[in-house]
Chains A and B, each alone.
Chain A
């Protein structure tokens, strides 16, 4: 029976790990992730979840423990934020290189210095090159659903890669809202027994990820790239299939809103994509043909979908909740890269907003769109990147 509960996205991530019948969780607490693992610890202690909770001394150990558990043949889960994710960095490479289907909730939080506990996407976006699939959620329901979908995707033999399910700290993690949890029987039939490409077995001993000479290494890396390409095709299929049992679907790689006849499309990630819909509706009433595209999957980057989506648009606006110092926001760069070789391509104006948890309202998004409208009218973009609501 589908159950409706009201709870925070962090607790829902805990519910998802339980529904996915995860067997090993190794985690270290960090604001604003803590309540994810507290919920799981509670489930394990009270016997509601049949799993082993390993209390490790750091996030680096957490990821290494997950690698070992996944290698030993069980479904694993962990969660972290910001500096905890950064501390795991070398192990993230190891997990994807080992082709292990670990799923991790990343509760997005800004990186220090200066110290911040508030949300922006710098933490997970800084890890975009580690070979992990990355999902970005816009509400509590999506956090639950995406974790289940992620296991299905990662454990597919055409993928066998780990995935991060990202949710903004406080905006989702500590916000209490209703969500529907599908019947456990339905989830069990959607998500069968754990599978991985290889298992450590004392009866057939071998070691993994050994030293590889230049004659072979490139091909191993190419296979990861192939797996990412496969993931790109599988994600929309899995989203649709899951949608049939849960009633919730997210548009696969990109959640599109009123883009079909749009002259101007605003690209966002995370919860901004939800407030963007409010901005779109308001601007449409004022006569502007604008649409919103929320990039739900950042790795693999939905290059083909972006190309198709913007075929008839004159202007693209990207809002990055993140900055790559010395360059621009990642979303802006990658959309530009996706479109560079197209014969006809729209103008692109990049904006930086919401760093360190600075609030981004639908009014802010309307303001950003109106600035891009000016570029559309004069036919060129004068400022590649503009920072919004900055103190003078």
Chain B
């Protein structure tokens, strides 16, 4: 089994950290993992990509991800400027940070899930340098939408990445996103 995930975000939003925490969660469940950024110079605000691989066998592959099984989009404006569905497998799942309902997103050929991760961050006052922290919420949403990792593993990975109060807030964000996820699978919610 090999699952490849592509994460779209902005420089500074924590896309790479999201990939690493996701990989960590899968590792806790005994999988082989990789997490890496789209290799390049990045700046705050620019659209960036990060990737993760989850495998039941040791990973020999080192090349880039071209046909992800899942796509995570860390903010709702990115899919207006970037083709987030590029290479996404036909039965792939997209998880987007958005206030909209998934059927309103307009990506009709795939299974779409939405979560207002920005809203959760503002609600919990989870901000870093004034920007809402959305990556931990979106991983909770990912766990619910794909069943690829268990919520408990994601929470454990979050708590191992951030300690103390930050760990508590971030894991609360993950839980809230897991509860509030909205899905739209081929015309059904």
Q: Which residues of A contact B (CB under 8 A)?
A: 6, 31-32, 117-118, 138-139, 169-172, 174-178, 271-272, 274-275, 277-278, 357, 359-362
| Contact, CB under 8 Å: B33 / A277 | no
> Given the complex, which residues of A lie within 8 Å of B63, measured CB to CB?
275, 359-362
Min CB–CB distance B30 → chain A (angstroms): 11
Q: Is the C-beta of B36 less than 8 angstroms from some C-beta in chain A?
A: yes
> Quick one: which of B52-80 are within 8 Å of A by CB?
59-64, 66
| Contact, CB under 8 Å: B41 / A176 | no
Interface of A is mostly: loop
| Contact, CB under 8 Å: A176 / B40 | no
Total residues of chain B contacting the partner, CB 8 A: 21
Q: Is the C-beta of B85 less than 8 angstroms from some C-beta in chain A?
A: no
Q: Provided the pairs A275-B61, A278-B61, A360-B63 are in contact, do residues A175 and B40 lie with their beta carbons within 8 angstroms?
A: no
List 23 interface pairs A-B (beta carbons < 8 Å), by A numbering.
A117-B39, A117-B41, A169-B39, A170-B36, A170-B37, A170-B39, A171-B36, A172-B62, A174-B37, A174-B39, A175-B34, A175-B62, A176-B19, A176-B20, A176-B23, A177-B33, A177-B35, A178-B32, A274-B60, A274-B62, A278-B60, A359-B64, A362-B63
Q: Is the C-beta of B24 less than 8 angstroms from some C-beta in chain A?
A: yes
Q: Provided the pairs A6-B24, A278-B60, A362-B61 are in contact, do residues A175 and B41 lie with their beta carbons within 8 angstroms?
A: no
Best-surrounded residue of A6, A139, A361 (most CB of chain B within 10 A): A6
Q: Which residues of B contact A (CB under 8 A)?
A: 19-20, 23-24, 27, 32-37, 39-41, 59-64, 66
| Contact, CB under 8 Å: A117 / B24 | no
Q: Which residue of B lies closest to A365 (CB)?
A: B63
Min CB–CB distance A278 → chain B (angstroms): 5
Min CB–CB distance A107 → chain B (angstroms): 12
| Contact, CB under 8 Å: A178 / B60 | no
> Given the complex, which residues of A lie within 8 Å of B34, measured CB to CB?
175-177
> Given the complex, which residues of A lie within 8 Å of B36, measured CB to CB?
170-171, 174-176
Q: Which residue of A lies closest to B23 (CB)?
A: A176
A171 to B40, CA, bound (A): 11
Q: Provided the pairs A6-B23, A174-B39, A176-B20 are in contact, do residues A271 and B33 lie with their beta carbons within 8 angstroms?
A: no
Min CB–CB distance A388 → chain B (angstroms): 13
Best-surrounded residue of A138, A169, A359 (most CB of chain B within 10 A): A359
A281 to B19, CA, bound (A): 29
Q: Provided the pairs A174-B39, A178-B27 are in contact, do residues A6 and B62 lie with their beta carbons within 8 angstroms?
A: no
Min CB–CB distance B59 → chain A (angstroms): 7
Known: A176-B36, A361-B66. 12 other contacts (CB 8 A): A6-B23, A6-B24, A31-B41, A32-B39, A118-B39, A139-B62, A172-B62, A174-B36, A177-B34, A177-B59, A274-B60, A275-B62
> Given the complex, which residues of B lie within 8 Å of A361, measured CB to CB?
61, 63-64, 66
Best-surrounded residue of B20, B32, B40, B63 (most CB of chain A within 10 A): B63
Min CB–CB distance B23 → chain A (angstroms): 6
A139 to B53, CA, bound (A): 15
> Given the complex, which residues of B lie within 8 Å of A31, measured CB to CB?
41
